[in-house]
Amino acid sequence: MKRIGMLTSGGDCQALNATMRGVAKTLYNLYDESVEIYGFIDGYKGLMYEDYRKMSKDDFTGILTIGGTILGSSRQPFKKMREPDPNGLDKVEAMKTTYRRLRLDCLVILGGNGSQKTANLLSEEGLNIIGLPKTIDNDLWGTDMTFGFQSAVDIATNVIDCIHTTAASHNRIFIVEIMGHGAGWLTLNAGMAGGADIILIPEIPYNIESVIDTVIHRANKGHGFTIIAVAEGAKTMEDATLSKKDYKKRVEKMLKSYPSISYEIAAQITAACGQEVRVTVPGHMQRGGAPDPYDRVLSSRMGAHAALMISREEYGQMVAIKNSTVCSVPLKEIAGKLKTVDPDSDIIREARLLGIKFGDEKIK
């Protein structure tokens, strides 16, 4: 009898259920009735406090197209994993105890950067772990793509598409703020797909004068509107020179005057150009709804591969996709590493060739 644990950790996204379905369906096909799956409620929290339920085949039926997660999720910061809970509970030891009490053969963990760091920690503590790469930010090291990313791109692109029509109708400047604190993959892809004129991402610090110059240049060329796609973690050139501590203070100061960086940029453009600037923040919409067809296929493939790895006892690995091939990478090699956009990459060069500005251009 194979006894498998499963949990979803961190922020939700569109293809978590589809991925769990891929794991479960493959396990049932491989082992028939000789497999038991235990789902932990609300991520690592359920593993810590023995909050779980034994799953049945019916639990994984009809969830391919459903967003979110049937197991629930929570954020359990990696940096606090070694700290006791308010009642003095040793979190790591508690998770190990739950694992062993259920006599699990493997624990399958669906999560992003922080979740995979904890997955590696548990692997180093002697548990059999397989990770699955979840995040709309596509910033997990070792995989070309994460499930949830493409669905989020679709949503963010649709927002920009809708903004385009009203921006053109009223000759306004619009800023669309897209999720992504440390990596700009989502903003870059949605911005290109939606035809944004300016894209601001964390990896390419911007000069507000350059952004304003682009807006004025477009107006002088007869373009009555400008679409700016801004990652929530976009930084000015000045911000990029600050220490982590000083940057945090700068953000805290900014938030006393503006809801987010996009509103500060809007105020700066209005002050310089006198043009009305509107800000749209789709927020958690980007993480919600049904997974798109691409993510349904990707997550199904990754889930099936995870089940195959269980059958082969290939533990301490995260499922990945490289050059369209599903494979695996050691957790110890990817834990704690952020995959960011290379400013000199082909996609950035091609975006520049299309005339898209990144706010780092020299002011004429």
| Cα angle, residue 233 at apex, residues 228 and 239 outer, rounded to 5° | 100
Within a domain: residue 334?
no
Task: Give the tens place of pLDDT for each residue, 197-220.
Answer: 999 999 999 999 999 999 999 888
Q: Are residues 54 and 181 in the same domain?
A: no
When pLDDT is averaged across residues 163-167 and rounded to a whole number, the result is 88
Tell me what the mean pLDDT of segment 12-16 comes to.
93
pLDDT value of residue 274: 85
Sheet holding 226-231, edge to edge: 198-200, 226-231, 173-178, 277-280
Shared domain for 200 and 346, answered yes or no, is yes
Side-chain half-sphere CA neighbours of 173 within 13 A: 26
CATH classification at residue 207: 3.40.50.460
Judge if 200 and 347 occupy the same domain: yes
Q: What does the pLDDT average to over 38-55?
A: 96
Pair (32, 120) in one structural domain: yes
- Cα(118)–Cα(82) distance, rounded to whole angstroms? 10
Question: What's the pLDDT score for residue 234?
Answer: 96
**Region 16-24 average pLDDT:** 97
pLDDT in tens, 339-362: 999 999 999 999 999 999 999 988
Catalytic residue among 12, 85, 90, 137: 137
Helix (H, G, I), strand (E, B) or coil at 160: helix
- Do residues 100 and 220 both lie within one domain? no
Rounded distance between C-alpha atoms, residue 337 and residue 142, angstroms = 9
> What gap in Å lies between CA 133 and CA 139, rounded to an integer?
10
Instruction: Provide the domain limits for residue 61.
Output: 2-148+291-322
pTM of the model: 0.93
Count of the separate structural domains present in the chain: 2
pLDDT classification of 75: cutoffs 50, 70, 90: confident
Q: Is 290 exposed, middle or buried (0-12, 13-18, 19+ CB in 10 A)?
A: middle
- What kind and span of H or E run contains 35? strand 35-40
12 tagged catalytic: no
Tell me the pLDDT of the chain averaged across its residues. Answer: 94
* Contact of 282 with 159, CB cutoff 8 Å: yes
Rg (CA), the chain: 22
Q: Among residues 200, 201, 233, which one has the least CA distance to residue 215?
A: 200
Mean pLDDT of the region 314-325: 97
Q: How far apart are CA 144 and CA 137, in angstroms?
A: 12
Kindly state the percentage of the chain with pLDDT values over 70. 99
Examine the domain organization and report whether 277 and 181 are in the same domain: yes
CA distances (Å), origin 113, targets 74, 117, 140, 224: 14, 6, 6, 41
Domain check: are 116 and 174 in the same one?
A: no
Claim to verify: residue 239 and residue 209 sit in the same structural domain: yes
364 pLDDT tier (thresholds 50, 70, 90):
low
Q: Which among 66, 2, 46, 9 has a CA at the least distance from the CA of 28? A: 2
